[in-house]
């Protein structure tokens, strides 16, 4: 699956956080969030075996699956991998949806065929879900045309992965600086994403929440109040860049959670936890300094940033 950074490059060219402080009782509600290690989001190149070893060494309790490796394993290797995960109380976080649904019908059908071919193997690992992001602009499709294409294609994807018991998490992209990228704007808030998910109409479709996008779109805890635990597929946390307001943040430039304090991540997570969600939480900073770190420094830095915001 292409990253958003790659997609943006190849297809075109309020300082105050919107999260109000919640009652302190939510900070100790007993819900334990799982620190998740997603290699692609931090520039970590590794095999599936190395990823599992890293998670054990640096105390991550969830990992994003590296599908290309996992589906190539023999039955014995699969069993050994899952057994090792269970021995260290590590579970799978969502994987990136391996379908290119934003471009041509041919590309979409190719990805759908891949899923149909491998969904049984993917499900055998206990991988719970796939996630993907919704580009907030389009050069050729109007809002309605784009909405209809997303509704049709993501519904098909959701049906295929449901045969393996997997869920699909959708993420809206909030930065207003990205809205001028193409001719036609598209959804960039949780209210609009809620409309799309409702139109898809599949029980296994929910939300990938990101503190950065909620902040940039102006979504507050009130906007997220409709969510229940089962609606949330996965969670990402990032911070804003100093010197920029919510309206001037740039999608590809973020800080690790808690580094700048521009985003009230504590209130964001309290809002998430208040639903009863106790799943995976990862970072996706798109940060050049983080990407350039050596592996050990990178992993220590990521784990420390999550602990700092209470993801133990």
- Residue 31: predicted pLDDT: 55
What would the pLDDT profile of 150-188 be if each residue is shown by its tens digit?
999 999 999 999 999 999 999 999 999 999 999 999 999
pLDDT at 156 (0 to 100): 98
Residue 102's CATH number: 3.20.20.150
**Residue tagged 């499709």 (tokens):** 141
Which of these, 138, 134, 136, lies nearest to 153 by C-alpha position? 134
Which domain does 69 fall in, by range?
4-308
> Which of these, 50, 129, 133, 119, lies nearest to 93 by C-alpha position?
129
Query: Exposed/middle/buried for 211, CB within 10 Å: 0-12, 13-18, 19+?
Result: buried
**What residues have CB less than 8 Å from 230, skipping those under 6 apart?**
206
263 secondary structure, DSSP code: S
**What value does the mean pLDDT of the chain take?**
92
* Residue in 131, 124, 86, 152 with CA at minimum distance from that of residue 282: 131
Q: Per the structure, how many domains does the chain have?
A: 1
How far is Cα 108 from Cα 120, in angstroms, rounded to an integer? 20
Query: pTM for this structure?
Result: 0.91
Q: Which residues of the chain have pLDDT under 70?
A: 1-31
């Amino acid at each position: 699956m292409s990253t958003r950074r790659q997609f943006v490059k190849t297809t075109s060219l309020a300082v105050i956080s919107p999260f109000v402080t919640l009652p302190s009782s939510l900070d100790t509600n007993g819900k334990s969030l799982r620190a998740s290690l997603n290699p692609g989001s931090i520039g970590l190149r590794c095999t599936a075996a190395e990823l599992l070893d890293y998670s054990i060494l640096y105390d991550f309790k969830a990992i994003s699956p590296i599908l290309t490796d996992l589906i190539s394993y023999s039955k014995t290797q699969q069993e050994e991998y899952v057994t090792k995960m269970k021995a260290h109380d590590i579970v799978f976080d969502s994987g990136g949806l391996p379908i290119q649904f934003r471009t041509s019908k041919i590309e979409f059908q190719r990805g759908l065929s891949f899923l149909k071919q491998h969904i049984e193997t993917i499900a055998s690992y206990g991988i719970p879900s796939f996630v993907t992001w919704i580009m907030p602009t389009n050069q050729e499709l109007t809002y309605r045309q784009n909405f209809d294409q997303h509704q049709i294609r993501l519904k098909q994807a959701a049906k295929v992965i449901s045969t393996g018991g997997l869920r699909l998490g959708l993420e809206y992209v909030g930065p207003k600086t990205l809205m001028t990228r193409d001719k036609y704007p598209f959804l960039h808030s949780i209210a609009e994403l809620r409309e799309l998910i409702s139109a898809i109409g599949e029980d296994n479709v929910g939300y990938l929440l990101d503190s950065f996008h909620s902040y940039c779109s102006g979504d507050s805890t009130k906007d997220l109040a409709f969510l229940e635990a089962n609606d949330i597929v996965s969670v990402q946390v990032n911070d804003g860049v100093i010197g920029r307001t919510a309206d001037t943040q740039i999608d590809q430039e973020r800080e690790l959670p808690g580094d700048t304090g521009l985003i009230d991540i504590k209130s964001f997570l309290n809002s998430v936890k208040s639903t009863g969600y106790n799943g995976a939480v990862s970072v996706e900073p798109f940060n050049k300094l983080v990407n350039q770190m050596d592996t050990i420094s990178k992993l220590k830095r990521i784990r420390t940033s999550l602990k700092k915001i209470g993801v133990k």
